[in-house]
Structure 1
Amino acid sequence: MSFFQNTCKPKGIGGKIMVHMMNTGHSSMAEWGFTHMEIQSDNVCLDIGCGGGANVRKLLEKSPYGRVVGIDHSEISVEKSKKINKAGIESKRCEILQGDVMKLPFRGETFDVITAFETIYFWPDISEAFKKVYKILKIGGTFMICNESNGENPKDEKWTKIIQGMKIYNSEQIEKSLEDAGFRGVKVDKTKKGWICAVVKKL
Structure 2
Amino acid sequence: MANFFQNTRKPEGLGGKIMVNMMNSGHARPSKWGFSHISPKVDDHILDIGCGGGANIAKLLKICTKGIVKGIDHSEISVAKSIKVNQAAVDAGRCEIIQGNVLALPYESESFNLVTAFETIYFWPEIETAFKGIYDVLKPGGRFMICNEVDGEREKAEKWTKIIDGMTVYSPTDIEKLLTSAGFNDITIDVELKHNWLCVIATK
The one-letter code matched in structure 2 to 1:107 is E
- 1:182 equivalent to 2:183? Answer yes
Are the counterparts in 1 of residues 145 and 202 from structure 2 also a CA contact under 8 Å? yes
Q: CA deviation at 1:158?
A: 2.1
Deviations 1:39-78 (A, max 9, x none): 0000000000000000011110110000000000000000
Alignment of 1:122-137 (within 5 A): 122-137=123-138
Q: Which residue of 1 aligns with 2:119?
A: 118
Matched length: 202
Q: CA deviation at 1:200?
A: 1.3
Report SS of the residue matched to 2:116: strand
Deviations 1:75-127 (A, max 9, x none): 00001000000010011000000001001001100001100000000000211
Q: Which residue of 1 aligns with 2:199?
A: 197
Q: CA deviation at 1:38?
A: 1.6
Are the counterparts in 1 of residues 150 and 156 from structure 2 also a CA contact under 8 Å? no
Q: CA deviation at 1:19?
A: 0.3
- 1:97 equivalent to 2:101? Answer no
The one-letter code matched in structure 2 to 1:172 is T
Looking at structure 2, the residues matched to 69 and 155 of structure 1 have their Cα atoms a distance apart, in angstroms, of: 31
The one-letter code matched in structure 1 to 2:142 is G
Q: Which residue of 1 aligns with 2:60?
A: 59
Looking at structure 2, the residues matched to 38 and 184 of structure 1 have their Cα atoms a distance apart, in angstroms, of: 19
Unaligned runs of 5+ in 1: none
Are the counterparts in 1 of residues 151 and 157 from structure 2 also a CA contact under 8 Å? no
Report SS of the residue matched to 1:80: helix
Alignment of 1:143-162 (within 5 A): 143-162=144-163
The one-letter code matched in structure 2 to 1:27 is A
Report SS of the residue matched to 1:185: strand
Moved more, 153-162 or 50-59: 153-162
Report the TM-score when normalising by structure 2.
0.97
Unaligned runs of 5+ in 2: none
Are the counterparts in 1 of residues 45 and 112 from structure 2 also a CA contact under 8 Å? yes
Looking at structure 2, the residues matched to 121 and 83 of structure 1 have their Cα atoms a distance apart, in angstroms, of: 26
Q: Indicate the RMSD between aligned Cα atoms, in angstroms.
A: 0.8
Q: Which residue of 2 aligns with 1:142?
A: 143
Q: CA deviation at 1:185?
A: 1.4
Report the TM-score when normalising by structure 1.
0.98
Looking at structure 1, the residues matched to 27 and 159 of structure 2 have their Cα atoms a distance apart, in angstroms, of: 19
Report SS of the residue matched to 1:2: helix
Looking at structure 2, the residues matched to 148 and 158 of structure 1 have their Cα atoms a distance apart, in angstroms, of: 13
Q: Which runs of 4+ in 1 moved over 2 A?
A: none
Looking at structure 2, the residues matched to 54 and 166 of structure 1 have their Cα atoms a distance apart, in angstroms, of: 22
Report SS of the residue matched to 1:198: strand
Q: Which residue of 1 aligns with 2:80?
A: 79
The one-letter code matched in structure 2 to 1:166 is M
Q: CA deviation at 1:161?
A: 1.8
Looking at structure 1, the residues matched to 178 and 156 of structure 2 have their Cα atoms a distance apart, in angstroms, of: 24
Report SS of the residue matched to 2:38: coil
Looking at structure 1, the residues matched to 64 and 43 of structure 2 have their Cα atoms a distance apart, in angstroms, of: 5
